[in-house]
Amino acid sequence: MKFDTPAQQNPIDQLKVIGKPTDRIDGPRKTTGTATYAYEHHQQLADAAYGHVVGAGIAKGRIIAMDTDAARRAPGVLAVVTAANAGKLTKGDFNTAQLLGGPQIQHYHQAIALVVAESFEQARAAAGLIKVQYQREHGAYDLAQARAGASVPKDGEPDTAVGDFAAAFAAAPVQLDATYHTPDQSHAMMEPHASIARWDGDQLTLYTSNQMINWGRGDVAKTLGIARENVRLLSPFIGGGFGGKLFVRADAILAALGARAAGRPVKVALQRPLIANNTTHRPATLQRVRIGTGKDGRITAIGHESWSGDLPGGGPEVAVQQTRLLYAGANRMTRMRLAVLDLPEGNAMRAPGEAPGMMALEIAMDELAEKLGMDPVELRILNDTQVDPEHPQRPFSQRQFVQCLREGAKRFGWDARSSQPAQVRDGRWLVGMGMASGFRNNLTMKSAARVRLDRQGKLIVETDMTDIGTGSYTIIAQTAAEMLGVPLQDVDVRLGDSAFPVSAGSGGQWGANSSTAGVYAACVKLREQVAEKAGIAVSDAQFSDGHVHAGDRRVALGELAADGELVAEDAIEFGDLGKKAQQSTFAGHFVEVGVDAYTGETRVRRMLAVCAAGRILNPKSARSQVIGAMTMAVGAALSEELVIDKRLGFFVNHDLAGYEVPVHADIPHQEVVFLDETDPQSSPMKAKGVGELGICGVAAAVANAIYNASGVRVRDYPITLDKLLDGLPQVV
């Protein structure tokens, strides 16, 4: 199905099932422990051996010698895999570094060996017996130092310009010029990267924790040098990904190599330190924001520059992209520069680009409001735009940005906020409010599904879409139930298998809208088959209560499949509507914090997000996504930072003891409001993504609340108490 004209009235608009706050249909399996994750396929692979990964002990250099003899002789050991005996390996399309290093080492904890043994403990013990001699080389590990040598990235639009930014900024009566720093961050998902591999002749079956099955299948085949059709990936349940499992990592490739070497299935889970150093992370940024306005607060010049780093061949953190679209202003400039760093690979983490970009831009807007003597909400409203500021002929398909801010301010009691910092006390706590805009582009991707109608009138939906904790099972079931008029319990959803039609996968906030649109397309085809078999004109056919009917004719769906199931398969292919009109999602984020007047400790007291993100397919799971994103943003604001050893080039706090993510006690009640909205230009579902919008801007709202509470402005995340102590008001 080609989607190249705006959606008209369709069966989804009935909203009998879609749009309802529905419990997740996979919930019982999750809560009873019967949802099978990558490392847990014990019944299918009862004879699986265990692999333990050895990571490089240097960040850059070469392996001079590796002694594996003692490991090979250790009890229970079946095989030791290294670059020397793994055979020819290539680099996949989505990797920056080799997934099995040696003799060249590209980053710390790059996998250099896998020990396979009968038990996990035997594999781990034997891995400790491997002796490696390295020749260490000088590396670049400090973004601030590498900034001067940063260059223009090869891909994308690193530089944009409209009007004459420099002249307009110089002439602006009110100017802000500030630099901000966001640190390296870890995805820190609960389920580690894990895989089990089995070979049947030249056929590889890989149970793996991966968000994008089709991408992963292609990269496994390319890396191992085997035919794509000889690879089957299965990932029915994923315990969190946040972008860290968009791409195949070392666990998958080494499990396959280990299984081939040992002659039996092998399971591999990356140790927690290797999740930080071996897999991808959100790269640090240095960002300079310059905004010039008239005395009335209208932006006349806005410029945003960002520096980030990655391994050779990598890409930048696109932290300037929201600045191109969020606020009006005739004279505009954005620039990105990429430094070569010898740290582990930087790549996508929840809301790549906008999350760190808005951590800078939205503090800058708060600072600008103070310079102008304006309310921060009103400054943003004043600079709203209904068209793409770089291309004014392109309107936004939907833009309820101002409504998000107005509704948020009203609900949060923003009018009670003191405009002067450090004025409100609650015992020993300095109390303040902050806000920020939320913005994330709506992305869509071709997505396919297969729908079967069986003799009992039940539906089976098959697509390689994944559920990373986001509720994909449920919204896909809701879509099929709405389209065919059957109860939700009569829909069986099967996900995460490369044998199924290729979906959009989970990532970039495109998964829900795209994958349900693909199911919609398949269901349209199935409706046509059903109506034809029932002798009803498709245009007249109505589907409800497990029947198809028109006029006096009413037939149970099961009857139509009595002589064999009906099967339909189709894909949604998106046209150029996204080019004709800018499709984006918006939010207003409001936060209240308390800052301890004696210690500088910050506690978040209240949080509110008001979101405009198209039709909300399931308000319950959508709220869950937004509050999870808000929680991640609190971590980004207050605690999360991968600390670099700048001498040796590794992340020091590479475990959950040293890398501090928020826990329940850190998070207060979170309120989420979804504005009533449909976007016919987005998809037949008239929906958009929302799971990443919830993180965009929240960290800045926390930072702005801290400033309002304490009078201390911090531009270097995370805002830890040591950065506040010297500037706190004197305690009387």
CA distance 570 to 567: 10
pLDDT, tens only, 413-448: 999 999 999 999 999 999 999 999 999 999 999 999
pLDDT, tens only, 207-265: 999 999 999 999 999 999 999 999 999 999 999 999 999 999 999 999 999 999 999 99
497 and 411 both lie in a single domain = no
Two structure tokens written together for 731: 């305690």
Pairing of strands 566-574, 2-3: parallel
Q: Given pLDDT bands bounded at 50, 70 and 90, which one contains residue 732? A: low
Q: Given pLDDT bands bounded at 50, 70 and 90, which one contains residue 731? A: confident
Q: Given pLDDT bands bounded at 50, 70 and 90, which one contains residue 683? A: very high
Residue 85 lies in a domain: no
380 and 460 both lie in a single domain = no
The mean pLDDT of the chain is 97
Residue 184 lies in a domain: no
Residue 391 lies in a domain: yes
534 and 544 both lie in a single domain = yes
User: What are the angstrom distances between the C-alpha of 584 and each of 242, 325, 337, 362, 613?
Assistant: 20, 9, 25, 17, 8
Mean per-residue pLDDT, 634-645:
98
- Which among 494, 560, 495 is positioned nearest to 527, based on CA atoms? 560
Query: Is 640 considered catalytic here?
Result: no
Residue 343 lies in a domain: no
Residue 210 lies in a domain: no
Please report the pLDDT score of residue 394 as a whole number.
97
pLDDT, tens only, 522-534: 999 999 999 999 9
Cα–chain center distance at 178: 28
Mean per-residue pLDDT, 154-177:
96
CA distance 330 to 301: 7
Task: Domain count for the chain, please give it.
Answer: 2
413 and 472 both lie in a single domain = no
Residue with tokens 């579902």: 685
Between CA 309 and CA 312, with CA 311 as vertex, the angle to 5 degrees is 110
574 and 654 both lie in a single domain = no
373 and 438 both lie in a single domain = yes
550 and 527 both lie in a single domain = yes
pLDDT at position 177 over 80? yes
Peptide bond into 718 cis (omega under 30): yes
Please report the pLDDT score of residue 319 as a whole number.
98
Residue 117 lies in a domain: no
620 and 678 both lie in a single domain = yes
509 and 593 both lie in a single domain = no
Mean per-residue pLDDT, 360-366:
99
418 and 483 both lie in a single domain = no
3-state DSSP assignment of residue 445: coil
pLDDT at position 620 over 90? yes
Please report the pLDDT score of residue 155 as a whole number.
84
Considering the chain, what percentage of its residues have pLDDT values greater than 90?
A: 98
CB 186 within 8 A of CB 275: yes
Sign of the alpha-carbon dihedral angle for 666, 348, 615, 569:
negative
CB 247 within 8 A of CB 216: yes
469 and 567 both lie in a single domain = yes
Catalytic residue among 367, 482, 677, 692: 692
Two structure tokens written together for 683: 């998809």
Residue 429 lies in a domain: yes
Mean per-residue pLDDT, 304-313:
98
Two structure tokens written together for 529: 């088959």
Considering the chain, what percentage of its residues have pLDDT values greater than 70?
A: 100
* Boundary (domain end) residue, out of 542, 559, 579: 579
Which CATH number is 702's domain given? 3.30.365.10
Residue 94 lies in a domain: no
* Boundary (domain end) residue, out of 579, 613, 638: 579
Please report the pLDDT score of residue 44 as a whole number.
84
Please report the pLDDT score of residue 157 as a whole number.
87
Mean per-residue pLDDT, 262-274:
97
pLDDT, tens only, 717-728: 999 999 999 999
623 and 538 both lie in a single domain = no
Please report the pLDDT score of residue 46 as a whole number.
87
| DSSP string for residues in 646-709 | TTTTEES--STTTS----GGG---EEEEE-----TTT-TT-B---TTGGGTTHHHHHHHHHHHH
Cα atoms found within 13 Å of the Cα of residue 302, Cβ hemisphere only: 23
* Boundary (domain end) residue, out of 550, 579, 608: 579
Between CA 263 and CA 270, with CA 266 as vertex, the angle to 5 degrees is 145
What domain range includes position 670?
353-442+583-727
